[in-house]
């Protein structure tokens, strides 16, 4: 896959999608290290940074292993960082998900750098999109948006993440308005396939 600026983006599937970008960035750590490292070798990419979209286990499961293997810096949303470090408990939208989260915990990983809304890091602009989790953040690189679960793909277009796993689905929906007017062409979601950003408009509440 190619974004408008010509960076190459490799999708590696796992518990969630991981995207390996040829600028040395890995977005999310839900794919097994062996698969990520094989792709990096094949593409000649040296992974320098692991950028996390939010604290859910399917996005951070392999961050610690990958950090150890590559020496990459881990970058994560400020509001989700302590959960990712294993120093705080995730907030769950309901008791069932709370029980699931207690069982399926990711190993804590050192977060080297916390990002806030609007910050630019490694050429990516952080867009804080709370709702799915408190810190949920999408990352914009030129016209490519890595959305984590702030917006996912269903039926070839944009969809809200499952309500059951989202802290506040109404807030998640309101957060989508932040994506209007950013010149995004393609969205690379945490689940499903990349899709055209034009399909977002039906979800954005004005
Ligand atoms: Zn999630």
pLDDT digits (tens, 9 = 90+) for 93-126: 888 888 888 888 889 999 999 999 999 999 999 9
> 25 alpha carbon to ligand 1 midpoint, in Å?
20
The third-level CATH classification (topology) of the domain covering 9-202 is Metallo-beta-lactamase; Chain A (3.60.15)
Which of 41-45, 50-54, 92-96 is predicted least confidently?
92-96
Question: How many CB atoms sit inside 10 A of residue 42's CB?
Answer: 10
Mean pLDDT, all residues of the chain = 94
> 181 alpha carbon to ligand 1 midpoint, in Å?
25
Q: How far is 32 from 126, CA to CA, in rounded Å?
A: 25
Domain parsing of the chain, residue ranges: 9-202
Element (H, E) at 139: strand 137-141
Indicate the pairing of strand 124-128 with strand 120-121.
antiparallel
| Alpha-carbon distance values, 168 to 64, 74, 116, 173 (Å) | 28, 26, 19, 9
> 165 alpha carbon to ligand 1 midpoint, in Å?
7
> 150 alpha carbon to ligand 1 midpoint, in Å?
8
Quote the DSSP letter at residue 24: T
Task: Report the pLDDT value the prediction gives residue 206, as an integer from 0 to 100.
Answer: 59
State the burial class of residue 96 (Cβ atoms within 10 Å of its Cβ: 0-12, 13-18, 19+).
exposed
Q: What is the pTM of this model?
A: 0.95
């Amino acid at each position: 896959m190619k974004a408008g600026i010509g960076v190459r983006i490799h999708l590696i599937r796992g518990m969630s999608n991981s995207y390996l970008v040829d600028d040395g960035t890995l977005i999310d750590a839900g794919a097994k290290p062996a698969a990520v490292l094989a792709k990096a070798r094949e593409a000649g990419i040296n992974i320098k940074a692991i950028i996390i979209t939010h604290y859910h286990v399917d996005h951070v499961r392999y961050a610690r292993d990958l950090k150890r293997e590559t020496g990459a810096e881990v970058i994560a949303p400020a509001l989700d960082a302590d959960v990712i470090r294993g120093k705080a408990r995730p907030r769950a939208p309901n008791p069932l998900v709370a029980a699931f989260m207690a069982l399926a915990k990711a190993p804590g990983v050192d977060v080297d750098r916390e990002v806030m809304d609007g910050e630019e890091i490694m050429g990516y602009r952080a867009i804080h999109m709370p709702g799915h989790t408190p810190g949920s953040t999408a990352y914009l690189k030129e016209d490519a948006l890595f959305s984590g679960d702030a917006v996912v793909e269903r039926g070839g277009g944009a969809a809200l993440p499952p309500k059951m796993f989202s802290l506040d689905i109404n807030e998640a929906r309101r957060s989508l308005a932040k994506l209007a007017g950013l010149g995004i062409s393609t969205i690379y979601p945490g689940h499903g396939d990349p899709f055209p950003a034009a399909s977002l408009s039906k979800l954005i509440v004005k």
